[in-house]
A = this chain, B = another copy of it.
Amino acid sequence: MLRHLGVHAPRLAFNFKSSLIHGGRGKTLTTRAFSSSAAVSPPSKAIVYEAHGEPDTVTKLVEVPAVEVKEKDVCVKMLAAPINPSDINRIQGVYPVRPEPPAVGGYEGVGEVHSVGSSVTSLSPGDWVIPSPPSFGTWQTYIVNDEKVWHKIEKGVPMEYAATITVNPLTALLMLEHCVTLNSGDAIVQNGATSMVGQCVIQIAKSRGIHNINIIRDRPGVDEVKERLKNLGADEVFTESELEVKNVKSLLGGIPEPVLGFNCVGGNAASLVLKFLRQGGTMVTYGGMSKKPVSVSTSSFIFKDISLRGFWLQKWLSTDKAEESRGMIDRLLSLVQEGKLKYKMDLAPFEDFNTALDKALGKLGSQPKQVIKF
């Protein structure tokens, strides 16, 4: 089943064992003859891994020659692309859907159109585009792929937001809109509220008039974290230990019991989400940061009528509903431009990829999302 997921593999602008590369054209440039009039991409640089393993060990910067830009192709000069946890898991080989190495890292990003094939009319050089649905192999300076892979966006958006809009913010929006029907005045509850998805959930919920109750872990500086989340639009923020009371619902005040909960932690933090949920509520699991399972009492299922399910962006993007995602991305980018959707990021020069990677791997303490600027 997993192999049927519709993951779009861009052609990679380099010849590194290209016959083996996931989505490669199957020929190396050294054996490939261009007609003299054929349009070609500029040479490119890419972060490649030849085998699965720890990303700081197996990735390397590779120089790759030009590839042909066919009539329906668009050659994009990448501007920025993030290092997401799922990118790391794909390189490690522990993510269920992943390109087989050798492959270029990265899954989302933003670029500027450099040149277009002879029959391309929807895009012109200078346009800003994102691969939508996101595609494997965004950690390179030039990508050539079919016109239909690219979604044109407004140029006014900060490039780090455009580069990161299709994974975390889209996950937050889809979970809020495609799990249960939420109306203004309803409430949701989530753990992992400081995660990027968590921050997006708060802001999107607020923009829709949905109350949000947030659970964070106990740690130093918790008051500052609470303040920051409340400034984003959080109605309530509780640490796990603050919820060690018999009746968590007594803490809700005037907020209605949540109909929907999001869990990206597992273990006790998931049980707390379940405790808040109202009769007939749903909890959606989209991550497992604690690496602990979700534990549910029998009476929660039978007498409280709780439903549990998962959300996985990559699976959703393989469905026929995924066509909606470009419109949703435009909505999210509008929220960014209106200042209603924000989260912390570090823009890191491509030359300093290794440092950005170390930060993304947590080797340098807690860091904001690392976004590579090409």
A209 within 8 Å of B by Cβ? no
A301 within 8 Å of B by Cβ? yes
CB pair B298 A296 closer than 8 Å? no
A238 within 8 Å of B by Cβ? no
Residues of B within 8 A of A307 (CB): 307-310
Residues of B within 8 A of A293 (CB): 295-298
A14 within 8 Å of B by Cβ? no
A145 to chain B, nearest CB (A): 27
Q: Given B266, B295, B310, which contacts A294 in the complex, CB threshold below 8 Å?
A: B295
Distance A318 CA – B236 CA, assembled complex (angstroms): 35
A299 within 8 Å of B by Cβ? yes
A288 within 8 Å of B by Cβ? yes
A287 within 8 Å of B by Cβ? yes
Residues of B within 8 A of A286 (CB): 301-302
Residues of B within 8 A of A72 (CB): none
Query: Which A264-303 residues have a C-beta within 8 angstroms of B?
Result: 266, 279-280, 285-288, 291, 293-303
A83 within 8 Å of B by Cβ? no
Distance A285 CA – B298 CA, assembled complex (angstroms): 7
A34 within 8 Å of B by Cβ? no
9 contacts between A and B (CB under 8 A): A2-B279, A288-B298, A291-B298, A294-B297, A301-B308, A301-B309, A302-B312, A305-B312, A307-B307
The 9 closest A-B pairs by CB, nearest first: A288-B298, A301-B310, A285-B301, A1-B279, A308-B308, A302-B310, A307-B309, A96-B303, A302-B312
